[in-house]
Structures are given as C-alpha cells and as structure tokens.
Amino acid sequence: MTKLEKFKQQIFALLERLACNSIIWSGFPKLTVSEEQLNSIMMAQTYEDAREAAIQYGWERYVKQFERTVGEVEEQSSEEFLKKLYEEQFGQQRDPFIGVDSETIISYKGVDTPIGDVADNFYVNNDNNFSFINSTPDQIMELQASLVNAGLLGPRVGKPFRPGVWNTELEGKIMYNLMSQANNIGIGKAENGWQNVLESYIQNPVSLGLQVDPYLPPDYQGISTSINNLFERELGREPMPYELKLLANTYLSESEKAYNQKVMLFEEAQNFEVTADNLTEYGNHIQKKIIEEQGLTEIDPTSGMFDKFQQITAEERERLKDYGDIQKTNSLIINSITGAPR
C-alpha cells in the first residue's frame, strides 16, 4: 500500500470516528467532511496534493500525526492511529502503569508480585480517558452521577462539570486517581478495580464539612433607615417608635429564619442522591427542587417586613386613598365649572 493510499484510508477513518464522538471528547473540534472535500482528496494523484488539501480543510493536526506514524508499521488501524494521536495530544508517561511503576510489588490473588508480571490486568496510562471518550452521553452521565455521589465531582467540591461530556482534564483526572488506587491495592480489570474503589467512595463520600457562613444579624441602623424611607414614601410621615421597633424586629426574625432555611437546604443538598435522570438539575437547581418537593416557601426578610407594614397600616392607607379620591373628584368638579384644563 502506498503512502497516498494509507493516507486516504486512515485520515477518513479517523475523521469519521472523531466526527461521531466530538461531542463527548473535550479538546477536539467537531469535524465534518463534505462530499466536495472527500472527492478532492480521493481524486488526488499524489500524496503532496492530498496533504495540501487536508491542511487547507483544517486537518493539519491529523496530517502531522499520520506523518509521524506512517513509517512505524506497515499496516496501522484507525483505532491505533487515534490512540497515537490521543497520546500525542495529552502526553504519555515513561512507565505505562497508572500510579505505580512496573516493579511495584502488589498483593495479587494472595501472592506478592511485581505489577509488571500481570500487566494485562492492570490500568495503564490513557486508560483513564481512552476507555471513556467513546461512551455515549447517557453512559457518561451515569458515571458522573456516581462521581457526584462519591463526593469527587460537582460544584460542592469545587469541580463543576457538563453533564454527558467527558473532560480529560476533569473526569479524566478523577478516573486516573481511581485507577491509581486500584493498581496500588492489587485489584485490576478482572476484579472491577476502579469500580470497587469508586463504590467505596460512594459508601463513604468525600466531605468538605458545612460550608455556610456563620449567621450575622443585619445592621439595625440600616434597617431603621429603610423603614423610615418606607413610611415617608408610602404615608408621608415618620414611623411611630412602636412601628419602627415592630418592623425592625420582624426583619431581624425573618433574617434568622432565612439563614436557618439556608443551612437546612445546604444539608439536604449534601445528602441529595444524584442519578443520571436528575443530573442536569444538580448544582444551583437542587435547592429549588428540594423546596418544591417539601412544599417549602423561600423566606425573604424584606418581603416579610413589607407584609407587616401593609398589615399595620391598612386602615391608614385606606383613609389616605379615600381622601385622595375625594380631592381628585373635587378637582374635576371645579375644573368642569371653571373650564380649566384638566
């Protein structure tokens, strides 16, 4: 097979593969191949012409990887080519095993042995990503839900994510740690190594402790100023001392209730079981979901204080309204008599 024939075979196999999976492979652009592009390369008479066309279409990265590997083996599958491209993109450590070297002694099936002697069963570099980048979004969401429940992923541990998207710098690194632990304790692929390590985290999730700031009462002077402004705006007068005290105490009481609700919702969110079905609601939406499920009402101190104001001034505001209506009616009557413009 000539270099041109190899190029045509592998470059399009690779482009087709990446085009199908670009949605879930973070770091690579979405690739599409038009019929015109396909024909221009397939009809190229020389490798140089095909290469130039591919670069013109923005496929330079893949062209360069092809040129690095074309001389290494006579025949190379698109799977092997993709793996080499991946390793070129994200790097490859010198020792192939994740978290250990080939001479590390592990207890495998009750026997102390170098991990290199049972290499096929244990995790090597890029298994933490290459095993997952071709998964469907639903499969990735199932795994992400488990990582969230284990306390390894999600906003509450400072690791926000995109549901259904495998990010090599996020989920990939978490999986690297899981596989590293599995290698170190001597449970590999046959023993569902990383899955068992993940399950142990789910049973004993990583906890950062309660991360709600301590309660600080609102500034009383600031509340008083707001109440004075409210009375002046709505009633045209200052509040009586008992009114000021009543509304200020209402605001302080509602503020403390709001804080206690915040703490409760935070604790509930910590224990919220995430699944693939509700994964998209995880994060800022969890507390709203808990409020809906428990039939709660969000506590707003300002609204509570204003409701109390409406309650204690209802009669006064009604009198002012009636007086205003009378004044307006009198003005209309006078204007109609004198012919003054309205």
Residue 16 above 50 pLDDT? yes
Residue 46 φ then ψ, to 5°: -130, 160
Distances (CA, A) of 191 to 158, 183, 279: 31, 11, 28
Q: Cβ–Cβ contacts within 10 Å for residue 146, how many?
A: 19
d(CA 44, CA 131): 35
Q: Cβ–Cβ contacts within 10 Å for residue 159, how many?
A: 17
pLDDT at 22: 40
Joined tokens for residue 316: 């006064």
Residue 39 above 50 pLDDT? yes
**Higher pLDDT pick, 218 / 293:** 218
What does pLDDT average to over the chain?
A: 77
pLDDT at 195: 95
d(CA 153, CA 171): 8
150 has which bridge partners?
Answer: none
Mean pLDDT of 282-308: 72
Joined tokens for residue 134: 């071709």
pLDDT at 342: 42
pLDDT at 214: 79
Whether 82 contacts 101, CB under 8 Å: no
Residue 25 above 50 pLDDT? no
Which range has highest mean pLDDT (227-231, 265-269, 337-341)?
Answer: 227-231
pLDDT at 340: 47
**Higher pLDDT pick, 335 / 214:** 214
Binned at pLDDT 50, 70 and 90, residue 317 comes out as confident
pLDDT tens digits, 40-96: 777 888 888 888 888 887 777 677 767 766 654 445 555 555 555 555 544 444 468
pLDDT tens digits, 173-182: 999 999 999 9
pLDDT tens digits, 59-68: 776 777 677 6
pLDDT tens digits, 238-253: 999 999 999 999 999 9
Residue 20 above 90 pLDDT? no
pLDDT tens digits, 115-150: 989 988 999 988 898 888 878 889 999 999 999 888
Which range has highest mean pLDDT (17-21, 37-41, 143-147)?
Answer: 143-147
**Higher pLDDT pick, 183 / 155:** 183
Binned at pLDDT 50, 70 and 90, residue 305 comes out as very high
pLDDT at 42: 76
